[in-house]
A = this chain, B = another copy of it.
Amino acid sequence: MALKMSVDDLTRFMVAEFPQVASDLAIEDLSPMQLSLRLKVRQQHLRPGGTVSGPAIFALADVGMYLTVLSMIGPEALAVTTNCSLDFMRKPAAGADLIADVRLLKLGRVLAVGDALVRSVGAEEPAARASLTYSIPPARNA
C-alpha cells in the first residue's frame, strides 16, 4: 500500500486543522503503515514534579495514529477514535521530548487498528504503550 500524503502534506494538514497543538508536534519519520511523531515537551504538558501528563501522552499517541491513518487514506476522509487502551509503564524523563512510534496493524474499510510505543528521547525503555481503533465513515459520494 502506498502513501497518499507526505510528511509535508500531513504537517500542513495539522497546522490547518489543529492549530492549537500543531506547533508542539513534529513528524520524525513516515513510511507506509508507520509514522513517528515527536512531542516537543513544554510547560503545559507537565504535571507538578516535572513529568509529562497522561493526557499529553494520550494526545500524542492519538494524533500519531490519526496522522498514520490519514497518510494511507488521504485528507478528505474522516476518521474518529473509537477505542484507546493505554499502559503507563515508566515516568517519562524530565526535560526530554517524547516520540511515539506508531504502526498500523489493520486498515480496513470501516476500522483501522494500530499501536504506539512512546519513549522519552534518549531512553531505551518505553514510557507508555497505546492501542487505538479508528472508525472510518463511508465516503459521502462513494
Chain A residues in contact with chain B, CB under 8 A?
17-18, 20, 44, 47-48, 53-56, 58-59, 62, 80-90, 105-106, 108, 110-111, 113, 115, 117, 125-126, 129, 131, 133, 135
Q: Are B110 and A89 in contact (CB under 8 A)?
A: no
Assembled-state Cα–Cα distance A82/B87 (Å): 6
User: Which chain B residues border A111 with CB–CB below 8 Å?
Assistant: 82, 135
Identical copies of this chain, number: 4
Q: Are A87 and B133 in contact (CB under 8 A)?
A: yes
Task: Give, as a whole number of angstroms, the nearest-CB distance from A43 to chain B.
Answer: 10
User: Which chain B residues border A88 with CB–CB below 8 Å?
Assistant: 80-84
12 A/B residue pairs, CB under 8 Å, sorted by A: A17-B48, A55-B56, A58-B84, A82-B88, A82-B133, A83-B87, A84-B88, A89-B105, A105-B125, A105-B126, A115-B115, A133-B133
